[in-house]
């Protein structure tokens, strides 16, 4: 156990962890889908709706002024968290999916012409693949897909070959939600930049687990959601370099994002408001800020050390189970383990584990091409957060053994 992380104190902060399901203590191992929320986040949302609720940026009254200040302070906090050069490079969205769609739609209109390509990898979540695939269809072009190997590691030679086809945009996951692979995004970005190709990084799986420095990565866009990092659902971030955001056309139209409006012509607001049409999710933004501060208070280093120790322990214990196969064995891996036992269907295993109080995910994890690659119907996936314990891993191992015996 990492001495810097007081896991039992952390657990006390998360009300949802202290309940029973089917008369068994809940073991929550579905963190790659969404994490539970600490009390401070829940209280922040409640405080906003009890005492601060008002529409921002427009009101002259006290509440509106106060909420506007808090909202823009949150933008600064997020900018500092990901080391953005300017806080107006932080756009609030509904989440990673909307962030990717925003860039696909807006940067697509700016850069794409008939026959132009977009490059993704074969381990993308559907939400960082389907928007690009649809964009390519619109421009009568092909989606280029970089291969990965049996271990779940991207084939960088193949990636380089595809870059030489001069795609207009590259979109890559920082961490694979299905396999746990941590991609060498800094290197991949640098490879794309040598050919002047902008890169979007899908950071949905990374924001809760590792520090992000968008300037060091030199990515052009970075997308993530609050709910996978202890924050509320329905709120997320798109970081974009100023040089792109300035040139890109707006994604949606309405209030807030406009400057001058007449029936003849409308001019658009400056960054970041140009990309934030309509009343934003103010409570969500404040809740996200609290969640990010919670992470910073615990420390990314301490969190990563604890999660890596859990990953190593769980991997070793799982490998001792007869017939168990792990999918995704990249040497550089986040705390996500996908597995199958013998020929047992993941749905069967997941159903029985659920009845033993263990929440995890079964299926294709919104990454069907990965399952096709391994020729499997899906996997069972356990994913860890800062509040998980070694004892919970032991419960998981015993439960898998019991369920497997029943299902064979």
Partner 1 sequence: MSIESIQQTIIDEFSSFDDWMDKYNLLIEMGKDTPMIEAQYKTNNHLISGCQSRVWLHASYRDGKVYFTADSDAVITKGIVNLLIRVFSEQTPDAILNVDLGFLDKIGLKEHLSPTRSNGLLSMVKQMKMYAQVFKLKNG
- Where do contacts with partner 1 occur on this chain (CB under 8 A)? 22, 345-348, 351-352, 355-356, 362-363, 377-378, 402, 406-407
| Complex with partner 1: residue 231 or 346, whichever CB lies closer | 346
DSSP 220-234: SEEEEESGGGTS-TT
| Complex with partner 1: residue 285 or 349, whichever CB lies closer | 349
Bridge pairing between strands 221-225 and 199-202 = parallel
| Complex with partner 1: residue 174 or 365, whichever CB lies closer | 365
Q: Which structure tokens are listed for 186?
A: 């800094």
Give me the least distance between CB of 24 and partner 1, in Å please: 9
Distance of alpha carbon 71 from alpha carbon 280, whole angstroms? 10
Closest to 175 in 3D by CA, of 200, 202, 145? 202
| Complex with partner 1: residue 7 or 21, whichever CB lies closer | 21
| Complex with partner 1: residue 203 or 378, whichever CB lies closer | 378
Give me the least distance between CB of 357 and partner 1, in Å please: 10
Distance of alpha carbon 170 from alpha carbon 155, whole angstroms? 15
Do the Cβ atoms of 143 and 193 come closer than 8 Å?
no
Give the helix/strand (H/E) hosting 287.
Answer: helix 282-298
Distance of alpha carbon 98 from alpha carbon 224, whole angstroms? 10
Give me the least distance between CB of 201 and partner 1, in Å please: 28
Give the helix/strand (H/E) hosting 39.
Answer: helix 39-47
Contacts 24+ apart (CB under 8 A), 275-279: 275/91, 275/102, 275/106, 275/238, 275/245, 275/250, 275/251, 276/91, 276/92, 277/250, 277/251, 277/252, 277/253, 278/252, 278/254, 279/55, 279/56, 279/255
Give me the least distance between CB of 129 and partner 1, in Å please: 18
Q: Is 366 a catalytic residue?
A: yes
Do the Cβ atoms of 15 and 42 come closer than 8 Å?
yes
Distance of alpha carbon 350 from alpha carbon 396, whole angstroms? 11
Give me the least distance between CB of 121 and partner 1, in Å please: 24
3-state DSSP call for residue 202?
strand
Q: How far is CA 20 from the centre of its chain?
A: 28
Distance of alpha carbon 19 from alpha carbon 337, whole angstroms? 24
Give me the least distance between CB of 327 and partner 1, in Å please: 16
| Complex with partner 1: residue 22 or 263, whichever CB lies closer | 22
Q: Which structure tokens are listed for 377?
A: 């119907």
Closest to 251 in 3D by CA, of 131, 345, 147, 406? 131
Give me the least distance between CB of 180 and partner 1, in Å please: 21
| Complex with partner 1: residue 33 or 45, whichever CB lies closer | 33
By annotation, the residues acting in catalysis are 366
């Amino acid at each position: 156990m990492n001495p810097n992380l007081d896991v039992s104190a952390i657990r006390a902060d998360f009300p949802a962890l202290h309940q029973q399901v089917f008369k068994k203590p809940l073991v929550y191992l579905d963190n790659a889908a969404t994490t539970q929320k600490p009390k401070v986040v829940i209280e922040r949302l409640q405080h906003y709706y009890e005492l601060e609720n008002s529409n921002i940026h427009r009101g002259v009254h006290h509440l509106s002024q106060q909420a506007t200040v808090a909202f823009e302070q949150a933008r600064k906090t997020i900018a500092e968290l990901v080391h953005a050069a300017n806080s107006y490079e932080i756009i609030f969205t509904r989440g990673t999916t909307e962030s990717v769609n925003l860039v696909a739609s807006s940067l697509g209109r700016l850069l794409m012409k008939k026959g132009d390509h977009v490059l993704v990898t074969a381990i993308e979540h559907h939400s960082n693949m389907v928007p690009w695939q649809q964009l390519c269809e619109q421009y009568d072009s092909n989606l280029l897909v970089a291969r990965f190997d049996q271990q779940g590691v991207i084939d960088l030679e193949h990636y380089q070959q595809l870059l030489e086809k001069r795609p207009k945009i590259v979109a890559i996951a920082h961490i694979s939600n299905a396999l746990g692979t941590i991609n060498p995004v800094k290197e991949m970005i640098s490879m794309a930049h040598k050919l002047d190709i902008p890169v979007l990084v899908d950071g949905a799986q990374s924001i809760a687990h590792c520090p992000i420095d968008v300037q060091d990565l030199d990515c052009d866009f970075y997308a993530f959601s609050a709910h996978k990092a202890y924050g509320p659902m329905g709120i997320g971030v798109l970081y974009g370099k100023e040089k792109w955001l300035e040139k890109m056309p707006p994604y949606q139209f309405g209030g807030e994002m406009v400057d001058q409006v007449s029936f003849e012509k409308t001019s658009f607001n400056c960054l970041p408001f140009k990309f934030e049409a309509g009343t934003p999710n103010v409570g969500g933004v404040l809740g996200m800020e609290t969640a990010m501060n919670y992470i910073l208070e615990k420390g990314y280093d301490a969190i990563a050390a604890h999660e890596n120790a859990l990953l190593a322990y769980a991997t070793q214990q799982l490998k001792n189970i007869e017939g168990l196969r792990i999918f995704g064995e990249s040497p550089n891996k986040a705390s996500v383990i996908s597995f199958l036992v013998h020929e047992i269907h993941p749905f069967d295993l997941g159903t029985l584990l659920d009845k033993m109080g263990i929440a995890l995910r079964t299926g294709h994890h919104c990454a069907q091409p990965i399952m096709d690659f391994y020729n499997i119907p899906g996997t069972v996936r356990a994913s860890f957060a800062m509040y998980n314990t070694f004892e919970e891993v032991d419960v998981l191992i015993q439960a898998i053994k019991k369920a497997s015996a029943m299902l064979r």
